[in-house]
Amino acid sequence: MTSNKRMIFAMTLLAALCLAGISAAEAADFDRTVIPRVKYGGGGDWYTGPTSMPNLLKQASERLHLPTQTENIAVSVSDPELFRYPMLYLTGHGQIRFSDFEINTLLNYLDNGGFLWVNDSYGIDRFIRREVRRIYPDREFELLPSDHAIFKMVYDFPEGLPKIHEHDGKPPAAYALFDKGRMKILYTYESDIGDGLEDAGIHKVDTPEIREKAMQMALNLLAYVMMQ
Amino acid sequence: MYSLLRLFGYNLSPIRDIESSALALAWGWAGLILLLLAMVPLSWWVYRCEGKNISDRMRRQLLAVRVVWVILLAFLMCGPVLVVSGLVPQRNRLAVIVDTSRSMSIKHKDLSRLDQVKTLFDGGFISQLESKTGIYPEVFSFADNVSPVSRQEVEQFNFSPEGNQTDISNAVRNVVGNLGEGSLLGIIMISDGVSTTGDNPAMALANMRTPVHFIAPGQEGESADMALHLTRPPAQGYLNSSVRVRGEVSLHRVATSSIPVTVLRNGEFFTSATADFASGTEKAGFAFNIPCEEEGSFRFELAIPKLENELTGENNQTGFLLKVVRERLNIMIVSGRLSWETKFIGNALLTDPNARTVHWARLRENRWVCARNLSPEAAVNSPNLSEDLKVADVLILHAADYEMLRPAEEEIVRRIEAGTLGLLLLPSTKSFSELGYQGTRIENLLPVLTSSETWRGTPGNLVLPAAETPYNFLRLVDDPIQNVEFFATLPKFEGIYEYAGLKPGSEVLINSTVRSSSDMLPFMIRARAGLGNVVLISGGPLWPAGFRLVPTDRGFAPYSALMVNMCKWLANRREDAQVSIELASSRGYVGQGNNVKVWVMNSKNELQANAQVSLTITDERDGSTSLTCIETSDKGCYETAFVPAFRGLHRLEAEARYQGRELGRAKSEILIEMSTAEFDEPVVKSSLMAQLASDTGGVFATVDQAMKIIGAIDAEPGQKLESKSIDLRDSWLLLIILLLLPMVEWYLRRIRGLS
């Protein structure tokens, strides 16, 4: 046997052993959680912060033992696959616009157990309020008090929503839209948790402590959504 | 021998001729020999030789007398009993039993079956029997009860067809018991055999030594008939669910492929169903659903068309009462970690307005969160499972390791086995072995052995068993075939756990298209644990399939309905009230017993033992009866029974008290009707009766041929072999002999000058 053949044989054997090892250790892996970002119209940067959700899902897997799929996935509201995802993430800096069809689909999605997390990266406040009013014309956002359960889930936030990224010097606020006794939309305003979830170094001002706070709050949000 | 025994004064009555006899000794023959061995030397010693010369003749005489006396004494001391057997003449008896059940009112050519019997009697049937046998037959009527009928009543033909059943075996047993001693020449049963209830008459009459003759009024197959039956009509429905009603239509001499069934609710048209007959069949089932959209009692009446000249129209309609109540459905979910599975199930369950959920999930070490009705609360360091478990009807476990359940294990197992808690196990990323279930009491409840668990990440579809499922929660589509097809079209699951085999008594509810070496791997398996149910789902995920189908508005999407209905089944559905009445059926029959269960809970929604429960039943004439309910072995369950005397709506009101304090009241209703069993299959059962007659040595005849039965009756007086035991000591003559023998011996000695 030549050295090349010996090499090929060894690699084949190694591969076979690896496969056998995987087969033996095979375990159930079917309820992987994915949180896609919403691809909306209107011109806003729906794609901002691409590492936020993968980082959150990775930490959810490590800290909460939640099986996740750590990919940055985007989904359009008109996509039938929308109903595969129990939670949607919407962020950006500008204009947001949904078509009538998308509004109806989003309403159907939220009424059937879905959840929408809107993260204000900066400048979407006016637009998201307008679009949400189109979904639920008879409902208003409610400011969550600091003793709300969402701040006492995996981690305690006695002061309420943490401030992650400074924009206009306003205090952070968590607005929720409740319908039929269930929180359907959470709008984190003047906090920018999404920024804090991104890879280290992307936002120089986000210290490790700040980024940990953002991760903890996002995990709280995830846990709350999963329980309702 | 007879004369000899009479001479000694023994009472041999009623034996007149001795056929055989046998002598027995209470001490046995060995006892007699031993007694003789003791008495002979004693006698020898007592009667010493005196040395005087007497003749040999005299010596022999004296010796004979002494020996006879000793033997006789020893014999009597041993307790002799003579068993004699002989023939005893019997008094002849003959019974005529007339069926007075309601089916005897069915008319054939303007004459009812009972009218035909009257014609037979008017034609001198009874008097001819009397002339043939020399005795007047004893006449009985039978239906619900067997009653003797006097000669005067027979002559006036005082029979009316009002009975609700035809129990042939019970009638024959009763009549034989009533007749008492005598030679039974035969039993003549006049019946249409409709509808035979009670013990199998073929078995009951198999050991009869008396011929049973049958006379059948009515001509088989004379008219066409259609009959409507409800197998077991529902008594109770639950708000926002549906109740399935099943029935059957049977035909006799009617050629058709389908029969429409009209359903009225409270007198108004509700729906219609169709019984479709396969070629050559005379019975076909039908089914329909009743959606329970509002609380209350509803009277349903079902009817099929009536044919011209139909045998009877009494079996063309039926009815039942349905009470729709708010249901108690407390679901407790315990998760070892967060998952979309439990989120989906929670959302599906809360589509039912009666459901209440509590979900405990471990977020991380020493950090638990509880969501009540999907509303999360602030996290706590340790869960308080026991309080929620007390009121739970169903426990759902997902990735819950054994250590979490250990404190509540005994309560969980006890309640499942008592049937007050259902258990649903969902698959998770950890196998049951990894969760520590192996060798625990919880593992004993599962339908599989967890040691053989392996995960197969093979996608597959759901497959219902080919035969129609008996479980309502698996019947999402009315038509059984379409239902099977529907399950196959449900979205795929991504993987499944494979087990070496099912434990005995386990049952596959849903299969999968994933195959092991030969068989399909089960997706949903059921095990029975005591009175409770355990369901294990071995494949997943549930949520991507289910989430898409979560109900919108008021409609129930099938996949969610499957989960909700399964939980209701697991919960052993009960009314959400502190006191509730449970009836086996909302329909009862006059003269037949009805069991009523009353469930009692205290203010904490715990089943209450040692309560005093009374039930008041009021009929349509405002006559009321109060009954005390007896506590059963099921905690919180009290039971009583009542037999209604009148038809119509009966109102039931239960009152429960505990330590003098009222716990609550419950009301219910039951519809009492005359039983239609006699008309379900009204055709004369000629072949059954001919078989029974043949088995007992009797004759079967129609009314027209009834005289041949008179010819078949053997009128010879009967004799009976009887045995009698006679205690031979019980004789004055024997006593006198016993006393005379010593006197004779003494006399003989004295006349010879002996001392």
SS3 content of chain A, % helix, strand, coil (to 5): 40, 15, 45
Answer yes or no: is B682 within a domain: no
Question: Which distant-in-sequence residues (6+ apart) come within 8 Å of B439 by Cβ?
Answer: none
At residue A184, the pLDDT reads 95
- Indicate whether A10 pLDDT > 60: no
B428 and B353, same structural domain? yes
The domain that holds B144 is classified in CATH as 3.40.50.410
Same domain, B593 and B567: no
The answer to whether residues B311 and B230 belong to one domain is yes
Q: Residue A158 has what pLDDT?
A: 95
Contacts of A57 (CB under 8 A, 6+ apart): A33, A34, A35, A68, A69, A70
Residues B84 and B162 placed together within one structural domain of the fold: no
**Domain segments of chain A: what residues?**
1-30, 32-227
End of a domain among B321, B345, B367? Answer: B321
Chain B: closest CA distance from residue A78 (Å): 14
Q: Nearest CB to A64: which of B364, B427, B544?
A: B364
For the whole model, what pTM was predicted? 0.59
pLDDT attached to residue B29: 82
pLDDT at A14 over 50: no
B622 within some domain? yes
Domain count across chain B: 5
Check if the beta carbon of residue B424 is closer than 8 Å to that of residue B389: no
Cβ contacts of B687 within 8 Å, gap of 6 or more: none
pLDDT tens for each residue of B481-517: 888 888 887 777 888 999 888 888 899 999 999 998 7
Residue B117 burial by CB count (10 A; 0-12/13-18/19+): exposed, middle or buried?
buried
Shortest Cα distance from A228 to chain B (angstroms)? 4
Do B496 and B365 belong to one domain? yes
Question: What is the tens place of the pLDDT at every residue in B25-76?
Answer: 888 888 888 888 888 787 777 665 656 677 778 778 888 888 888 888 888 8
Domain range holding B248? Answer: 225-321
Q: Strands of B283-292's sheet, edge to edge?
A: B225-230, B241-252, B283-292
Among B334, B349, B363, B556, pick the best mutation site for testing chain A contact (most A Cβ within 10 A). Answer: B363
Residues B520 and B391 reside in one and the same domain:
yes
User: 10 Å Cβ neighbour count for B52?
Assistant: 9
Is the ipTM here above 0.90?
no
Judged by DSSP in three states, B641 sits in strand
- CA dist list (Å): A190 to A94, A145, B361, B690: 14, 16, 31, 95
Identify which of A135, A137, A196, A186 has the alpha carbon closest to the alpha carbon of residue A165.
A196
Spatial separation of the C-alpha atoms in residues B648 and B392, rounded to whole Å: 38
Q: What would the mean pLDDT of B392-419 be, rounded to a whole number?
A: 91
B678-717, pLDDT tens digit by residue?
777 777 888 889 999 988 889 999 888 888 888 888 877 7
B106 and B55 co-located in one domain: no
Same domain membership, residue B167 and residue B113: yes
Residues B514 and B628 in one domain: no
Give me B671's structure tokens.
């519809």
pLDDT tens digits, residue range B268-296?
999 999 999 988 888 899 989 898 888 88
Q: Answer whether residue B409 is part of any domain.
A: yes
Question: What's the CATH code of the domain at B251?
Answer: 2.60.40.10
**Contact residues on chain B for A153, CB-CB shorter than 8 A:** 363, 369, 376, 378-379
pLDDT at B97 over 60: yes
The 10s digit of each residue's pLDDT in A172-216 is 999 999 998 899 999 999 998 999 999 988 888 888 999 999 999
Contact assignment for A28 to B548 by CB distance below 8 Å: no
Q: Residue B555: closest CA among chain A residues belongs to which residue?
A: A112
Q: What is the pLDDT of residue B553?
A: 38
Regarding whether B484 and B608 lie in a shared domain, the answer is no
Note whether B152 and B190 are same-domain residues: yes
With contacts defined as CB-CB under 8 Å, which chain A residues touch B460?
none
Helix (H) or strand (E) holding B598, with range, is strand B594-600
**pLDDT tens digits, residue range B143-164?**
878 899 999 999 899 898 888 7
Same domain for B352 and B471? yes
DSSP strand E in B1-108: where? 17-25, 80-89, 92-99, 107-108
Which DSSP category does B473 fall into? G
CA distance B293 to A7: 74
Task: Name the one residue in this structure whose structure tokens are 């991760």.
Answer: A215
The CATH T-level fold of domain A32-227 is: Rossmann fold (3.40.50)
Tell me which H or E stretch contains B137.
Answer: none
CA torsion sign for B1, B5, B7, B8 is positive
Residue B164 maps to a domain:
yes
* Spatial separation of the C-alpha atoms in residues B675 and B440, rounded to whole Å: 51
Residue B551 — φ and ψ, nearest 5°?
-60, 150
Optimal mutation site among B335, B340, B345, B554, interface A, most CBs of chain A within 10 A? B340
A66–B337: do the CB atoms touch at under 8 Å? Answer: yes
CATH number for position B614: 2.60.40.1930
Q: What is the pLDDT of residues A33-83, one digit of tens each?
A: 889 999 999 888 999 999 999 999 999 999 999 888 888 999 999 988 888
Q: What angle do CA B688, B690, B692 make, to 5 degrees?
A: 70
CB contact under 8 A, A150 and B376: yes
Is the distance from CB of A74 to CB of A49 less than 8 angstroms?
no
| CA distance, residue A123 to nearest chain B CA (Å) | 31
Give the tens place of pLDDT for each residue, B200-230. Answer: 888 878 777 788 999 998 765 466 788 898 8
Domain assignment present for residue B678? The answer is: no
